[in-house]
Chain A
Amino acid sequence: EAQVTQNPRYLITVTGKKLTVTCSQNMNHEYMSWYRQDPGLGLRQIYYSMNVEVTDKGDVPEGYKVSRKEKRNFPLILESPSPNQTSLYFCASSLRGTLTGELFFGEGSRLTVL
């Protein structure tokens, strides 16, 4: 089954404790991206990647890191999480970027930073 898989789905952590949210897709997509969703703000793009070893900043990259060492994986790293990074995170992928718009989204990862 074609899918985008995120882990963990739910996480409660404390300020400053490094964490990684993994994202994996099995559709051989070139493009992958991370978003955060906050009430009243919609979705905001954190980072995106058009291919292996190619990453670019979205609108809210501060406090996050990403890497794209393999085509299928695009982990989101929070080196030193802070409470303002409490949010719902989505990973998405598509075959050819946003040219036609059909992004495939993961189920979301709800992160709480205390």
Chain B
Amino acid sequence: AQKITQTQPGMFVQEKEAVTLDCTYDTSDPSYGLFWYKQPSSGEMIFLIYQGSYDQQNATEGRYSLNFQKARKSANLVISASQLGDSAMYFCAMREGNTDKLIFGTGTRLQVFP
């Protein structure tokens, strides 16, 4: 079974609007970490945000926030006030337990239009 699921292969959003990218995960370990990475067309991987399973509050980094719903096992990325430069591939990832193995989802391609 897939441990990280990103069900949206592609998303479109108008500039200045907010957008939510979905991510669900599956683990039986109470300790885990959830991450989002951005991959622009140039190919590099850019870390965006991290949420630990024991963190009480949702993580935020500038225009990025992680909507962490533990009971639903979801860790959606919310981008507020989208910019043209946000057009990229976005990957959700999970660290399971206290290992250093990182499992990535298949990604969502976000296109921001004027």
Please report A residues at the B interface, Cβ cutoff 8 Å.
31, 33, 35, 40-45, 48, 50, 56, 58-59, 88, 90, 92, 97-105, 107-108
Contacts and interface: CB of A to CB of B under 8 A. Distances in A.
B35 to A, nearest CB: 4
Given A101-B33, A102-B50, A107 B103 contact: no
Contact of A98 (B46, B102, B106, B107): B102
Interface in B94-111: 95, 100-107
Given A43-B104, A108-B43, 15 more contacts: A42-B6, A42-B106, A43-B93, A56-B100, A88-B43, A98-B95, A98-B100, A98-B101, A99-B33, A100-B33, A102-B47, A103-B102, A105-B45, A107-B43, A107-B44
A33 B33 CA distance: 17
Contacts of A48: 100-101
A88 to B, nearest CB: 8
Interface in B61-98: 91, 93, 95
A77 B93 CA distance: 25
A105 B91 CA distance: 14
Contacts of A35: 104
**What are the 6 A-B residue pairs with the smallest beta carbon separation, nearest first?**
A101-B50, A105-B45, A101-B35, A43-B104, A42-B104, A98-B95
Nearest to B45: A105
B30 to A, nearest CB: 16
A98 B34 CA distance: 10
A110 B100 CA distance: 25
A104 B107 CA distance: 18
Given A43-B91, A101-B95, A108-B43, A31 B33 contact: no
A48 B46 CA distance: 19
Contacts of A99: 33, 95
B91 A42 contact: yes
Interface string B40-68: 00011111011000000000000000000
Contacts of A97: 100
